[in-house]
Structure 1
Amino acid sequence: MPSTSAMLRCLFIVQGEGRGHMTQALALRSMLARAGHRLTGVLLGRSSARAVPAFFRDRIEAPVTEFASPNFVTDPQHRGVRWGATLWQNLRSLGAFRRSLAVIDAALRRQQPDVVLTFFEPLAGIYHALYRPRVPFVAIGHQYLFLHPVYPFPPDRPLQRGLARGFTALTALGAARRLALSFYPADDRPERGLVVVPPLLRDELLRQPLDQEEPFILVYVLNHGLGEEVRRWHADHPEVVLHAFWDNPAAPDPWRPHPNLTFHHLHDTRFLEMMARCRGLVCTAGFESVCEAMYLGKPVLMVPVEGHFEQYCNARDAAAVGAGLYDDHFAIDRLLAYLPHHAPRTEAFRAWVAEAEARFLREIEIVVDERRPAVVGV
Structure 2
Amino acid sequence: MKILYALQATGNGHIARANVLVPKLKEHAQVDVFISGQNAQLHFKGDATKNKGLSLFYSENGGLNYAKILRKNSLMQFVQSVHHFPVQPYDLIINDFEPITAYSAKLRNKKIIGLSHQSAVLHKLAPQPEKKHRFSKWVLQKYAPVEKSFGFHFTKYDENTFHPIIRDTIKKLNCANEDYFLVYLPSYKNEEIYKVLSKLKHVDWMVFSPFSKVSKKQGNCTFFPIDEQLFTSYLATAKGVLCGAGFEFPAEVLHLKKMLFVIPIKGQFEQYCNYLALKQLGVMGAEDLCVEKIDTWIASNHIAAVSFTDETDLLIEKVLNT
- TM-score, reference length from structure 2: 0.88
1:153: Cα distance to partner? 1.8
- For the residues of structure 1 that align with 2:49 and 2:203, how far apart are their CA atoms? 43
Say whether 1:196 aligns with 2:161: yes
Matching residue's letter, 1:173: P
**Larger of the two Rg values belongs to structure:** 1
User: Who is 1:236 aligned against?
Assistant: 199
1:241: Cα distance to partner? 1.2
The 8 Å contact of residues 123 and 171 in structure 1, kept in 2 or not, is answered as no
Counterpart among 170, 178, 181 of residue 217 in structure 1: 181
Q: Deviations over 1:143-197 (max 9, x none)?
A: 212332222223xx2242x43443333244243x311101122224xxxxxx211
- For the residues of structure 1 that align with 2:258 and 2:24, how far apart are their CA atoms? 25
Gaps of 5+ in 2: none
SS at match of 1:218: strand
What does 1:27-46 correspond to in 2, within 5 Å? 27-33=20-26, 36-37=27-28, 40-46=31-37
The 8 Å contact of residues 45 and 69 in structure 1, kept in 2 or not, is answered as yes
1:240: Cα distance to partner? 1.6
Question: Sequence identity of aligned pairs in percent?
Answer: 22
The 8 Å contact of residues 319 and 326 in structure 1, kept in 2 or not, is answered as no
The 8 Å contact of residues 316 and 326 in structure 1, kept in 2 or not, is answered as no
1:284: Cα distance to partner? 0.9
Say whether 1:72 aligns with 2:35: no
What does 1:124-143 correspond to in 2, within 5 Å? 124-133=101-110, 136-143=111-118
Gaps of 5+ in 1: 1-7, 189-194, 368-378
Q: Relative to structure 1, is the Cα distance of residues 338 and 38 closer, same or farther in structure 2, using a 3 angstrom cutoff?
A: farther
- For the residues of structure 1 that align with 2:203 and 2:69, how far apart are their CA atoms? 40
User: Who is 1:256 aligned against?
Assistant: 217
Q: Deviations over 1:313-368 (max 9, x none)?
A: 211111211233334115332321221xx25324xx13x2x2x212311221112x
Q: Relative to structure 1, is the Cα distance of residues 10 and 247 closer, same or farther in structure 2, using a 3 angstrom cutoff?
A: farther
The 8 Å contact of residues 61 and 192 in structure 2, kept in 1 or not, is answered as no
- For the residues of structure 2 that align with 1:292 and 1:271, how far apart are their CA atoms? 13
- For the residues of structure 2 that align with 1:306 and 1:173, how far apart are their CA atoms? 24
- For the residues of structure 1 that align with 2:81 and 2:290, how far apart are their CA atoms? 37
RMSD: 2.5
What does 1:1-378 correspond to in 2, within 5 Å? 8-33=1-26, 36-37=27-28, 40-47=31-38, 50=39, 53=41, 55-57=42-44, 59=45, 61-62=46-47, 64-75=48-59, 77=60, 79-83=62-66, 85=67, 89=71, 93-102=74-83, 105-106=85-86, 108-109=87-88, 112-133=89-110, 136-154=111-129, 157-160=130-133, 162-175=134-147, 177-188=148-159, 195-210=160-175, 212-223=176-187, 225-248=188-211, 251-252=213-214, 254-258=215-219, 260-329=220-289, 331=291, 332-339=294-301, 342-346=302-306, 349-350=307-308, 352=309, 354=310, 356-367=311-322
- For the residues of structure 1 that align with 2:77 and 2:112, how far apart are their CA atoms? 23
SS at match of 1:293: helix
- For the residues of structure 2 that align with 1:10 and 1:322, how far apart are their CA atoms? 39
- For the residues of structure 2 that align with 1:149 and 1:234, how far apart are their CA atoms? 37
Q: Relative contact order (alpha carbons < 8 A, sep ≥ 6): 1 or 2 greater? A: 1
